[in-house]
Structures are given as C-alpha cells and as structure tokens.
Structure 1
Amino acid sequence: MIEGEVAVVNRRGAQRIRNGHPWVFRSDLERAPAVAAGFVRVEEYTGAPLGFALWSPQSEISLRHVSADASRAPDAAWWHEQLRTAIARRAPLATESNAYRLVHGEGDGLPSLVVDRYGDALVVQLLSAGVNAWTETIVASLQELTGCTGILARNDPAARDREGLPREVRLLHGDVPRVIEVVEHGVRYLAAPWDGQKTGAFLDQRENRVLIGSLARGRALDCFAYHGSFALHLADRAEHVTAVDISAPALARVHEHAQRNGLTNIEPVEGDAFDVLRAWYREGRRFDTIVVDPPAFAKNRNAIEGALRGYKDINLQAMRLLAPGGLLFTASCSFHLSRGLFFEMLQEASADSGRRFALRAITGQPLDHPELITVPETGYLKGALLEAMG
C-alpha cells in the first residue's frame, strides 16, 4: 500500500465505525482517496487514525471498515488469517452436514464476501469492488485452507451493479459440478451451485428443518417447498407430507429428492400457495404440521406494507388449516421486515383466525450465518414455532 492512500471521514462516519458498524457512506467522506478499489487507510477529519477499510469508488457504501490496527496494512497474510479464523469457527458443523457457510460477510469481519461449502467445492460471492480487487488472494487462501477441488464465483447478485462490477458466474479454480449432493443430518438433497437459488441451496434454514422435522407428526404441509428441503425432514416422522410450490421444475426436484431418500410419503402439488390453502380450508382439510417459508416479500423498505399483507395472509391461511394441537413453523427471510413487525403480524393473523396459538420457540440464524448486534444488516432470518391450542 502506498502512503497517502487515505480516506478521511467526518464525525458521523467515524462514530459509526467506533460503534461497531463497518459501513461509511459516500456522504460521510470528507476526502475520498484517489486510488483504485482495494484497501485504504482511514482517518477521522481530526487526523485520528481509524485503521483500514475496503474502498469502493463507485458505491454509495464507499468504505467497509475491516481493521482498527493502523500500524498494519491488510495484505495476503491478513486475508489468510481472517479466513482461517472464520473457517475454524464452523468446525462443529462438519459432523452434521457437508454444506454450510464458511464466510458470512460483515458477520465474520470480511465485508461483502460470502463463501459457501458444498462438499469438496466452494461457491464465493465478491459483492464489492474493494473485495473483488483481492479475488486471487482470497482464492489462493481458500484453496490452502480447505483443500477444495473447485471454486465457483456466483457473482450474479444485483449488489454488484451498484459497485460498477459485472454480474457473472465464473469458475475460479478446479471444477465445480452442476449438481452436488448435500447430506444434512442424514437427509440427502441436490444443490445447484451454478444456477440454483442463492449459491445453490438454502443453507440458512438447516437447523430449522431439523427442528420441525423432529417434531413433525400426522399430515404435514410444506408451503413454498422449492426443492423440498423442509418436506424431506418432515417425512421422517409425518405420515404424509404435501409439498406445495408454484414451479413444476422445482416439484420435479422434490420428487427426485424423495426417491434419493427412499421416501414414498411426499406428494408434490403444483399451485400458488395462497390459492391452494384457501381452497383446502373451504374443503375442510386439516394438517397436523405446517411449514410456511416464503421467499422474501420485502425486497426494500418501500415494499414492507405490501409484504406484511402477504405474510399475514399466508400465515392466517396456515393457522386456519392447522389441526388442534398442531405445530406451525413460520419464517421470514426479509431483512426489511424486523422481528418486531414479524411478531406483530403473527399476532394479528392469530387474532383474525379466531384461535389461540402458543409460542413454542423463536429461531434466528445458525452458527454459520452470524448476526452481529452492532450490524443489523448481517441478520435477516427470523422464525417462530407455534402450537394451536384448540
């Protein structure tokens, strides 16, 4: 790093860093560094050193603070040390699954970097210009630390547009198969790292799938089933599982996954979950175990009002379908829908259903998706296990 590559931040930006949040917005820059994306030294407008940050020249989030140590500029050895620490933290998960997140961006002190493991392959997302500049170094360290046979860059999220970076899916090392078998607490399913949702599968719901699967009984319903990850866990204890999804190709994968696990009690049903649940309620159908895990209805703050209506509607329909004593696991992956709003929505849905529901558990994110209390953006997933009390 060349001396003089310094970003100067105002009082608000400095206070944000000192409060434990790594982001400094363009509006809080007193002086921007005239250098390409990468690491830069950060100082307060008073001249007080604030350490180092990843610099993104075109982004609204100009700086992502990574180190308060002003005496050591981050280099290849720094990346290796940080990645080793993050990966070591996930060691307990290796006995439960062969697929989990190794790096959760800001949650691991490595802003805008995501690394997911699928068996012997890794899928990475480099979501800022600052971190993208260190791609080769990161890939080399990941190879050494994990012994992986391939690394795929799923650099296709919209976040890269705001960084002036191209959206692309690119092989960075070795070979990564189109499909990889995931073994999750004894349940087998296929991940699609090249073109599947997220980086290939929904790894963040792993513990929630185990939770409701361990409690499932009777007739079970998995709404927004996608490839059936919840349904597969439900099927171990439930007599019959109905997996509802609007996508025929997704349901074909549900059928394939059922066969892979030797399960004959999963029934895929194609249709819009909202319409299907309403129709079944009119028909008088009931389920003993229900999972509601919809996609993110609130993509931004402006969508919250509409998202709340959607979440309330689908949860109300599920509550009406639940048999007395039955269990409902419901979740939201919308960051912009706070925990408070999520539980207010459930209270309103319960009131409108005319039934009483007991809260059995509140769930958040698993070990491999750390949510820092000083960085709200690291948390998005919230869930609740409810019991119908009559």
Structure 2
Amino acid sequence: MWIYDNEIASIAGSFADGDIVLVHDFDGYPLGRGFINRHSKIRIRLMTRNAAQEIDRDFIRMRVQNAWNYRKKTVDTGSCRLIFGEADFLPGIVIDKFSDVLVVESLALGIDRLKETIVEALKEVLAEDGVIIRGVYERSDAKVREQEGMERCKGFLGEPFDTNVLIEENGVKYMVDVVNGQKTGFFLDQKYNRQSIRRLCPGARVLDCFTHTGSFALNAGAAGAAEVLGVDASQTGVEQAELNARLNGLEDRVKFVCRDVFELLPELEEKGETFDLVILDPPAFTKSRSSVKNAVKGYREINLRAMKLVKDGGFLATCSCSHFMTYELFTQTIRQAAQNVHKRLRQVEFRTQAPDHPILWAADESYYLKFYIFQVCDEK
C-alpha cells in the first residue's frame, strides 16, 4: 500500500502534491493508482491495484459501503471505528463513530482532499440503515501531519454540536469528549479486551494502571470487583474517569488517583499491597524503530513491578499498542520480566485489537495491539 521515496526510479508528467498518479514497476507493469506527496517519505499511498480505476465519488462510496458492511458483521456498531486507513483501502484517514457523532482524523495530503467526500458518503451509507449522524468533528491534530507538509487542525466539519457524547460499550456508560480527549476521544480498539477481563473480577481487588478515562477499571467494577484502583498521570483523565464511575453508579467501589505509574508501583510493593488482578494498558512507549530499546526497558519495568503486586495465583493483563514493539519482542520482554522476579506465567489468552481495527496482512502497520492475560504464580 505504501511506496517510499527511495523505491522510485523515475517520475514522468506534471502533477501537484496530493494528486492521484499511476504507478508502474521496473518493467512497466501497472501496480495501481494512489496519491503522491513529495514532502513525505511515504511518497505514494495506493488506493487501488486497478490501474484503470478512477478515484471518483463512486469509488469512494464503494470503499465506504464495504467498510460499513464489514463492521455490521463483525462488531457492535453503536460505537466503533468505521474507517481504519490502509486496512479499509482508504489510506491515511481514520473515522470513529461515537453513538451519533463522527470523529475524523486525516493524516495524509491526498486523502485530506477527499475527506469531505468520504464523510458525506459515510453519512449517506449509514442513513440507509437508519443511522443518522448529528455531527462531525475533525481531530487532525497529530504531529505526523507535519511530516506530510500539512498543518495540524481540529474543528467542526459542518454545523457545531455538543461535543460531549454519551456512549455505551459492554454495558458500561462513558462520556466521550471528542474535542479534548486523546486521539479521537476514546480508545475503541480495546473493546473486547476490556470485556475479556470480566470473568476474573467478581470479588477481586483490582489495580488498573494507565487507566485513561477508566475503561478497564469500570469493566472490572461492573463485573463485580470488590475494590478497584485506577491510576493515570493525567488529572483530566482521572476527572473524566471519576465522572464515568458516577455515570455507572460505581463510585463506591471504583476509585481513581492521579499518579505516575512508574513511581506508584514500587510504593505499593513497599507497603506490601497485593491484588487479584493487575491491568497494564500503557501508551505507546515507542513510535519509531530508533526508540525501541528504551521502550523495552519501560515495558519490562512495569511488567516486573506488576507481577510483584499480583497475589500468588492471581492474574496480569498486559498490553502494548506500539506497532514497533512487535509480538515477538513484547513476548520476550514479558518473559524476561517474569524470570527477573522468579514468577511462573500461565497464559490464559492472547488477543489483538477489536475487529473494527482490522489487520491487513499487506500492511504491517495495521497490526499494533498485543494483549495478554496471564495467571502469575510464585516459583515453588
């Protein structure tokens, strides 16, 4: 789907950055059509392998319809990712649906020119199934836009609306702030991973690290946990999590604290605290190959500390959302952490991102989320 700057032998004809171009291989065989940007190392992002295909409104409508049809068959569509860039063959754009609101993140110049056409086609396709969208907000404020020679931006696409959106996922209510929340406002990719921890929670004491707006913690509370502590370094995130706890009537059993997880875990260990279930859902410690080594140290440290806090026979749920922290490297890092603290791990299950974030085997970057559940036992 991507053609890098150092893979191009020659360019012929006139065009502007963002235009659709035809790509041939070294002996003239047509590889497909995509949009070009000389400001980006990803020089061309392919949109179709059919060299005769026009990239017009009908083409966009077809791509959008296919994406919606796929989600209707694979996920709860109340709130879900409708468009996942390359994995839906619309490279460089992400569109999330939170109840009746769409949030758009456009990250490439060529797709940015098409975003309004994509949004309108999506609204039409949804309306045909009786799903009416009341507002669209753009969150194209990621730093990666600067690598495309584009300015970061955010704001309404169309008429203004109330941007605090109430959603429900796995029976848990959340207030999503699409303007100020991280990324598009809420992390939908962990939907079924959050559900998977529920059977471990009845009567349990649970520690949820990097809780963000409280999603794992609230699933634990809703599943019958006796006591849940959610930890996050963002005061805004903690306040949102506390609001979400009140929305679900869980504020008596699910508490939140604003702390640095790396500082808090050793303190809890020193106090002799233990938990039936510890959850680690950290942000991506690396967003490039150059910083993977430091990321490994971070993942090893938090997993090592978490294992020490798990009661003998208790459980650890741990994940990485970095594409560059590969499955093999993440698995090796967890193994090293267990060896360092003399713990035996029994794998309960391994999961990835929810199906509305499909993994396209022709696009490695679409596979990023790794999620393990282990039983943690003392070596005896």
Question: Under TM normalisation by the shorter chain, which class is it?
Answer: over 0.9
Query: Is 1:219 the counterpart of 2:205 in the alignment?
Result: yes
CA distance in 2, matches of 1:269, 1:133: 43
Assess if the C-alpha contact under 8 Å between 1:97 and 1:182 holds in 2.
no
Distance 1:69 1:93, change over 3 A: closer
Query: Is 1:34 the counterpart of 2:14 in the alignment?
Result: yes
* Match among 165, 180, 183 for residue 168 of structure 2: 183
Q: Normalised by the size of structure 1, how large is the TM-score?
A: 0.91
Corresponding residue number in structure 2 for 1:5:
none
CA distance in 2, matches of 1:195, 1:169: 10
SS of 2:300's equivalent? helix
Corresponding residue number in structure 2 for 1:66:
47
Assess if the C-alpha contact under 8 Å between 2:345 and 2:374 holds in 1.
yes
Encode CA deviations 1:145-182: one digit per residue, 9 max, x unaligned. 12312221211111211111111002112344321111
CA distance in 2, matches of 1:274, 1:136: 42
Q: Normalised by the size of structure 2, how large is the TM-score?
A: 0.93
Corresponding residue number in structure 1 for 2:136:
151
Corresponding residue number in structure 1 for 2:214:
228
CA distance in 2, matches of 1:191, 1:211: 22
Assess if the C-alpha contact under 8 Å between 1:42 and 1:52 holds in 2.
yes
* Match among 84, 87, 100 for residue 65 of structure 2: 84
Corresponding residue number in structure 1 for 2:97:
117
Aligned residues: 368
Corresponding residue number in structure 1 for 2:243:
256
CA distance in 2, matches of 1:174, 1:355: 56
* Match among 31, 51, 56 for residue 50 of structure 1: 31
Corresponding residue number in structure 1 for 2:295:
307
SS of 1:244's equivalent? strand
Assess if the C-alpha contact under 8 Å between 1:331 and 1:381 holds in 2.
yes
Corresponding residue number in structure 2 for 1:99:
79
Assess if the C-alpha contact under 8 Å between 1:99 and 1:184 holds in 2.
yes
Compute the displacement of 1:249 (Å): 2.4
Identical-residue share of aligned pairs (%): 33
Distance 1:40 1:115, change over 3 A: same
SS of 2:301's equivalent? helix
Assess if the C-alpha contact under 8 Å between 1:80 and 1:141 holds in 2.
yes
Aligned residue identity for 1:139: V
Query: Is 1:297 the counterpart of 2:306 in the alignment?
Result: no
Assess if the C-alpha contact under 8 Å between 2:138 and 2:157 holds in 1.
yes
Compute the displacement of 1:326 (Å): 0.9
- Which one is further off, 96-105 or 118-127? 96-105
Aligned residue identity for 1:252: E
CA distance in 1, matches of 2:38, 2:57: 22
Corresponding residue number in structure 1 for 2:3:
24
Assess if the C-alpha contact under 8 Å between 2:71 and 2:77 holds in 1.
no
CA distance in 2, matches of 1:183, 1:74: 36
CA RMSD of aligned residues (A): 1.5
Corresponding residue number in structure 1 for 2:357:
369
SS of 2:197's equivalent? helix
Encode CA deviations 1:6-37: one digit per residue, 9 max, x unaligned. xxxxxxxxxxxxxxxx1111122233353121
Query: Is 1:241 the counterpart of 2:247 in the alignment?
Result: no
SS of 1:103's equivalent? strand
SS of 1:90's equivalent? helix
CA distance in 2, matches of 1:239, 1:297: 31
CA distance in 2, matches of 1:67, 1:318: 46
Encode CA deviations 1:96-124: one digit per residue, 9 max, x unaligned. 46211001111111111111101111111
CA distance in 1, matches of 2:346, 2:121: 48
Q: Which 4+ runs in 1 deviate beyond 4 A?
A: none
* Match among 360, 367, 371 for residue 379 of structure 1: 367
- Which one is further off, 250-259 or 169-178? 169-178
Aligned residue identity for 1:53: G
Corresponding residue number in structure 2 for 1:208:
193
SS of 1:116's equivalent? strand
Compute the displacement of 1:92 (Å): 4.1
CA distance in 2, matches of 1:103, 1:136: 14
SS of 1:66's equivalent? strand
Corresponding residue number in structure 2 for 1:195:
180
Query: Is 1:134 the counterpart of 2:122 in the alignment?
Result: no
SS of 1:200's equivalent? coil
Compute the displacement of 1:244 (Å): 1.1
CA distance in 1, matches of 2:280, 2:270: 19
Compute the displacement of 1:46 (Å): 2.3
